[in-house]
């Protein structure tokens, strides 16, 4: 296996959705289903917003829904209902979502001599359970998610690692901005992104390297095995 650019780093931080799991479209649909009962234009507008802010915590997005889409005062009971609906949908989606191509091969190789972490906008406790259930947690030194922001997650990972070189692998502009804020290299994985074409182009321009999937790190021999 030719790890190429990844050989340059001691710490590799992965986003989860659209990087480890092909789940972005399922999650966007789940945002719409979680608020079922509203007019279709409101639901569609909110789902589109969720696509263009992928990586931002659900805790923020459902608060934004009241003011920016439903034109309602914030309602704690309804907010908690949205969160519960969405969490239940996500739990089912993670059971059926495909792990992206060659992810398991890559994680096995990298975890031999590098520290691997997850920094995600998804719920942290939910993710920890998912990674155990999908037999992926063994590869990671830590899994971090919301309600902390992605920047807070990545900062926590780097707190005791200032002398080690790190890279952030993500599929959204929130990942790119997190990497830039922390002065990290950014690798953009584009295959499963659901963000706008404009955001996609920004990520491609800012990235140290652009890949489709982790197959791009595999040699011909690896692909045959």
Hey, how many other C-beta atoms are within 10 angstroms of the C-beta on 96? Answer: 8
User: Is residue 214 scored above 70 in pLDDT?
Assistant: yes
Three-class secondary structure of residue 75 per DSSP: coil
Q: Tens digits of per-residue pLDDT, 113-165? A: 999 999 999 999 999 999 999 999 999 999 999 999 999 999 999 987 766 89
CATH of domain 4-22+99-224: 3.40.50.1000
Q: What are the extents of the domains in the chain?
A: 4-22+99-224, 25-96
In 9-134, which residue ranges form alpha helices assigned H by DSSP?
24-34, 40-52, 58-65, 76-96, 103-110, 124-133
109 alpha carbon, distance to own chain's centre: 21
Question: What global pTM score does this model have?
Answer: 0.90
- Provide mean pLDDT across the span 174-201: 95
């Amino acid at each position: 296996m030719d790890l190429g650019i990844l050989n340059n780093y001691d710490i590799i931080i992965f986003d989860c959705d659209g990087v480890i799991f092909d789940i972005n479209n399922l999650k966007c649909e789940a945002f719409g289903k979680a608020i079922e009962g509203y007019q279709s234009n409101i639901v569609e507008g909110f789902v589109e917003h969720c696509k263009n802010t992928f990586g931002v915590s659900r805790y923020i997005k459902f608060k934004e829904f009241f003011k920016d889409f439903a034109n309602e005062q914030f309602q704690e009971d309804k907010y908690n209902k949205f969160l519960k609906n969405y969490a239940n949908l996500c739990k089912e989606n993670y059971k059926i979502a495909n792990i992206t191509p060659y992810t398991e091969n890559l994680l096995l190789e990298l975890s031999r001599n590098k520290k691997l972490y997850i920094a995600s906008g998804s719920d942290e406790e939910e993710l920890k359970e998912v990674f155990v259930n999908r037999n992926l947690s063994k590869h990671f030194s830590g899994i971090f998610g919301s309600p902390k922001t992605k920047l807070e997650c990545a900062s926590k990972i780097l707190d005791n690692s200032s002398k080690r070189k790190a890279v952030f692998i993500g599929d959204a502009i929130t990942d790119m901005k997190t990497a830039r804020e922390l002065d990290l290299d950014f690798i953009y994985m584009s295959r499963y992104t659901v963000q706008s074409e404009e955001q996609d182009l920004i990520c491609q321009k800012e990235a140290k390297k652009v890949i489709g999937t982790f197959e791009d790190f595999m040699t011909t021999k690896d692909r045959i095995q």
